[in-house]
Copies of this chain bind each other. A is one copy, B any other.
């Protein structure tokens, strides 16, 4: 039988303090006790942040869903002394959304943090359920696009120049793999843990967790007793990204460290900082847009035209 490299061997010592280890990181060939693991985790994030021009003193907006990744990134930014504000987007998905909001509220209350919640249906005019019912399928893609657009817009409206997201090593490596398998080279070139602001009204984006993986985030949250929302969004069915992550996990098991070396091999190259086209203004809302309409208004147009064609049929 294959040796499970994810198991901590008995009597293993922490590589940092030589006390009893509790966490085994095969990709780093290291074992840690909980305290030293926190130092390791913070350092990983710090090393990533050093490569961005964002200084702890400049305020950053943190997109927080209430899931393990976004609460971890918020916590580690606090550990590192960053000035943060939490931004929650309520997707209006019943119990799942209510629990998400609760987890963010609890976390912020406990640590006395500044934050705000915005409703997707109020900001956009339609709920995710309505979008799903009208556009049928690819709701995950519509939601992603919508979240990206709204988070940018609200961040900028609130006077912040940087938006932080909880994307981690598995997210980034999985996305990269998906883009490579489809030979989408322009997406490959644009993927980076720091994306500078492409327009005065569009914030820069940073992904401080890109050097840590899901297991490490879970261990970090566990030690910090961070309570995150459980379960998945009901619309993730049919999404392809879990498959890419699954394939990478298999490779990581066979070749510890591969996931990390894969992502880093592509990060060495400088991402394209210039946008593919010149930004103009959206004909409907005046916000920055590549084409005649911004991504939000163009989605809204599709939703409205569906409603219109339905009302013609039913009348």
Contacts and interface: CB of A to CB of B under 8 A. Distances in A.
Interface of A: 177, 180-183, 240, 243-244, 246-248, 250-251, 254-255, 258, 261-262, 265-266, 268
Contacts of A262: 181-183
A-B complex: 9 closest residue pairs judged by Cβ atoms: A183-B265, A247-B247, A243-B254, A181-B262, A180-B180, A247-B251, A247-B250, A183-B266, A243-B251
Contact of A250 (B246, B261, B268): B246
Contacts of A265: 181-183
Contacts of A268: 183
Nearest to A259: B181
A250 B243 CA distance: 8
A246 B248 CA distance: 11
Tell me which of A177, A247, A254, A258 has the highest count of chain B C-beta atoms within 10 A of its own C-beta.
Answer: A247
A251 B268 CA distance: 27
Contact of A251 (B181, B183, B258): B181
Contacts of A182: 261-262, 265
A21 B268 CA distance: 51
Contacts of A183: 262, 265-266, 268
Contacts of A246: 250, 254
Nearest to A262: B181
A192 to B, nearest CB: 14
5 contacts: A182-B262, A183-B266, A243-B251, A246-B250, A247-B251
A181 B258 contact: yes
A13 to B, nearest CB: 29
Contacts of A177: 181
Given A181-B262, A181-B265, A247-B250, 18 more contacts: A177-B181, A180-B180, A181-B258, A182-B261, A182-B265, A183-B262, A183-B265, A183-B266, A183-B268, A240-B255, A243-B250, A243-B251, A243-B254, A243-B255, A244-B251, A246-B250, A247-B247, A247-B251
Contacts of A180: 180
